[in-house]
Amino acid sequence: MSFVGIGVYVLGIPALFGWLLWSYRARVEEIRVRYWLGNLYYCYKRKFFWFEMLILVRRLLLATLISVLPSDGILLPILVLTAFSVSLLIHLWLHPFTSRADNWLEAISIVTTALTFIAQYLMFIDPTDNDSFSDSWGESSSLHDGIIGAVVATNFALLLVMLGVLLWPLFKWVGRNSRLLWRLRRGRNLHSIRHRMRSMILD
């Protein structure tokens, strides 16, 4: 039963999404198609409507590598870093997102995830042990703390940047409308003052 679930969720859903995108590739601009399928491609350039599938394949590949390969071997980091490197090169070559900020954030996200993986892997590797990679790297607890702190700080900074990019349009809208309201109130006050002065002069 577990194999059926793996087949449906790991292979079936990505295959379904890929089939839908390919089937409606000539109609992605139609309102009806964008309404129920647009979440898969609305943030990408028109010619890269399929790029979400590439990201999904990358995530599935990484999850498979980390789940299947032994964590104390050298093959795992080689394949994982190769996957990250290829993904980064493809992304920098194509720039698939319509927004320049999204393109930069995706590239930074790939690099940050790769660095996080490297840091996590190094924390459990003993470079002086030539027979086994399974022992933890216990020579310096301060080095461990430094690596953990750097990884946490880097990911937290990336999270703040992403939140800032997401909320920036809202901040701009609030600022623009606040200035507009202030100008309207100021204009009403000036009009009221002029009206009073005119009334005093006429009286």
Q: Kindly list the domain boundaries of the chain, sorted by start residue.
A: 1-42, 49-202
pLDDT at 86: 95
pLDDT at 135: 46
pLDDT at 187 over 80: no
Prediction pTM value: 0.68
Res. 149 pLDDT band, cuts 50 70 90:
confident
Task: Return the amino acid letter for 35.
Answer: Y
pLDDT at 140: 56
Largest CA-CA distance found in the chain, in angstroms, rounded: 103
pLDDT at 200 over 70: no
Q: Provide the 8-state DSSP code for 174.
A: H
Q: For residues 64 and 138, which has the higher predicted lDDT (pLDDT)?
A: 64
Query: CB neighbours of 83 closer than 8 A, spacing ≥ 6?
Result: 58, 61, 62, 65
**What mean pLDDT is predicted for residues 122-130?**
59
pLDDT at 165 over 80: no
Q: For residues 136 and 116, which has the higher predicted lDDT (pLDDT)?
A: 116
